[in-house]
A and B are shown apart, each in its own frame.
Chain A
């Protein structure tokens, strides 16, 4: 039975169901319980934005607070994964990857290949990404391109509650290290989510909207922005398809190529900085594989090549909005050789 719950609740439910199903699943992170050693209540926080709230009450031995020592505890989660546990470790804001990046990209990501296929490292690193919370340059980045770049890591970036639950369950069951990127501006959005447990396979894009004139690929929060733009464009007689890759590694290029073969136009929307971004990556792959089908230059809609600014007036300019997406679509549609 599906009911309407939030993205935050969907993530919490996915973890709870997997913990109930599999005793090897443990959860750890800064204030994932909240209140350890303190005089007041335990589970006072349940994560900085309340995502893990209540898990401690149900699984007190398997939900752990950590000190602010990301190298040590993210590394410990990775080590525990090689030792038979299935840790779900939280790296609060994705920006903090700078503190513990060695453990992620030189250790977790490399084990399997470096050790000749003998290692499995079933760790999930949950992390919040994206701009919009007026949280400024060190708490608002995307950084998904950085993780996507690294062979050995899988990267999931759900855009809605249904995908969040299914992708997280898959991430926990997956034998590879997974970066599970939760967009912080989506936590309070809601949608229909089945109560039962289900896993969504990685590397399968979701075509959120059909359309013949142009194919829009969007990631995370930008899926909603692209859908808004598509609605707007329908009013001017332009029919836009919107595709959500759901995982950026593996990437379902086939679905994107099929759509571009039909529409002949591609717009990629990604709030990351533009250089070496998901947009430039997807755009380049499509250019290489489907050059003959293209009727217009690929349009990339991204944040600018700047850190994320604090002031609301600037942050709103930083983040791509529906009108920028619609303008990019019009550029592609109006293109004549």
Chain B
């Protein structure tokens, strides 16, 4: 992992930007912890994969993006959604399969999307996102709007042919694309140290003729800086970048996973590496923000999540009239 020394980026962020980044990370954490509890209580159906521990990646990358830009996500998509501006209440309702959900209950946790926000969807197919992002980057390139596409994918997905083909395509078309390999150490129960043939996923960038960087995924500032460079290069016509973000996930692969394949790395990470704790320590030590400002955000977020769950539970389910709609635009 790269170090956690002060990076220049930290100084460039305004207090408002720092507060915004903190709010995003806190919202993701609180959302995921609540979904974890609700799932354990038996209230949430289906497969749910939580992003807790990985907040700095989505937040550090998406803080550089605007409405021109699109992201593709994974099965572990809640954090990417929140960081790209998808509203929390419809997200929660979607996870409960309600009509008020982001996808009217048709998608669920694995398919939350908001095309109006440039969020192309969580994805149930590992490796489904990178080709789509080549296409979004191509569309921006052809329109000349300066937009970029970002594909988030896991260490497991880094071994998928679709991902590797996309890296090649992005370079030969000089696409404004950023590939963010979120290496949390595991694909399900399988270690990335075994499944990835090179030492690091970022090593593969050289084979595809693009820059590759490794960042400490528990450090918002490190991610922010690396992503800033990649986004600026892409917007300026300098082509794609591969960023490998290293960290670990706090929960199981999916909710219900017994995690017998793990050591006790989570306790260590929560205690010593946690992105929220480190963010807090750093911005308060620098005197950029004071703790009370951050506490207020924590309280706001807690209230928002509470409301989101209450409203989701109370919302109506889709019914027979909804079953056959939305298959085509016209038929």
Judged by a CB distance under 8 angstroms, whether A292 is at the interface is no
291-318 of chain A: CB within 8 A of chain B:
304-307, 309-314, 317-318
- B258 cross-chain contacts in A, Cβ below 8 A: 44
A18 interface hit (Cβ, 8 Å): no
**Assembly CA distance A95 to B98 (angstroms):** 24
**Best-buried of B47, B156, B188, B327 by chain A (most CB within 10 Å):** B188
Task: Decide if A136 touches B110 in the complex (CB within 8 Å).
Answer: yes
B38 at the interface (CB under 8 A from A): no
Majority SS at the chain A contact face? loop
Interface flag for A190 (CB, 8 Å): no
Say yes or no for A40: interface residue by CB 8 A criterion. yes
Is the pair A44, B107 in contact by a Cβ cutoff of 8 Å?
Answer: no
Q: Are A95's CB and B107's CB within 8 A?
A: no
The A/B interface has a contact count, at CB < 8 Å, of: 162
Q: Which of B108, B259, B260, B318 contacts A136 (CB 8 A)?
A: B108
Q: Is the CB of B263 within 8 A of A39?
A: yes
Neighbouring B residues of A136 by C-beta, 8 Å? 46, 106-108, 110-111, 124
Per-residue A-contact encoding for B86-123, CB less than 8 Å = 1, 0 else: 00000000000110000101111011000000000001
A67 within 8 A of B: yes
Bitwise, A71-114 to B at CB < 8 A (1) or not (0) is 11000000000000000000000011011000000000000000
Residue total for B at the interface (Cβ-Cβ under 8 A): 49
- A37–B188 touching, CB < 8 Å: no
Against B, the Cβ 8 Å flags (1 = close, 0 = not) of A37-74 are 11111101100100000000000000001011111100
A154 within 8 A of B: no
* A31-B126 Cα distance, complex, nearest whole Å: 14
Within 8 A of A (CB), among B223-240: none
CA gap between A133 and B108 in the complex, in Å:
12
Report the Cα distance A68→B130, complex, angstroms.
Answer: 15
Closest chain A residue to B197, Cβ basis: A67
Report the minimum CB–CB distance from A94 to chain B (whole Å): 12
Which size bracket describes the interface of A in this complex?
35 or more
In the assembly, what is the distance between CA of A67 and CA of B111, in Å?
23
Nearest B residue to A69, CB-CB:
B159
Is the Cβ of A48 less than 8 Å from the Cβ of B188? yes
Check: B191 CB closer than 8 A to any chain A CB. Answer: yes
Q: Which residues of A contact B324 (CB under 8 A)?
A: 304-306
Task: Give min CB distance, A84 to chain B, whole Å.
Answer: 26
Indicate whether A36 reaches chain B with its CB closer than 8 angstroms: yes
Distance, CA A100 to CA B45, complexed state (A):
29
Task: Give the CA-CA distance A67 to B162 in the complex, in Å.
Answer: 14
Among A68, A139, A317, contact of B160 (Cβ-Cβ < 8 Å): A68
| Cα A304 to Cα B331 with chains together (Å) | 15
Q: How far is the CB of B268 from chain A (nearest CB, A)?
A: 12
Q: In the bound complex, do residue B106 and residue A314 qualify as a contact, i.e. CB atoms below 8 Å apart?
A: yes
On whether the beta carbons of B97 and A310 are closer than 8 Å, the reply is yes
- What 0/1 pattern do residues 177 to 209 of B give for CB contact below 8 A with A? 000000000111111111110000000000000
| A253: Cβ under 8 A from any B Cβ | no
Closest to B257 in A: A45
Most buried by A among B156, B160, B193, B317: B160
Q: In the bound complex, what is the Cα–Cα distance between A282 and B127 (angstroms)? A: 36
Contact of B108 among A40, A306, A310 (CB under 8 A): A310
CA gap between A192 and B126 in the complex, in Å: 37
Bound form: Cα–Cα A169–B24 in Å: 53
Partner of B189, one of A45, A95, A312: A45
- Knowing that A44-B189, A314-B106, A314-B318 are A-B contacts, what are 14 other residue pairs whose CB atoms are under 8 Å apart, sorted by A's residue number? A34-B188, A35-B190, A35-B261, A38-B190, A41-B261, A44-B259, A67-B156, A136-B106, A136-B108, A304-B324, A306-B327, A311-B105, A311-B108, A317-B323
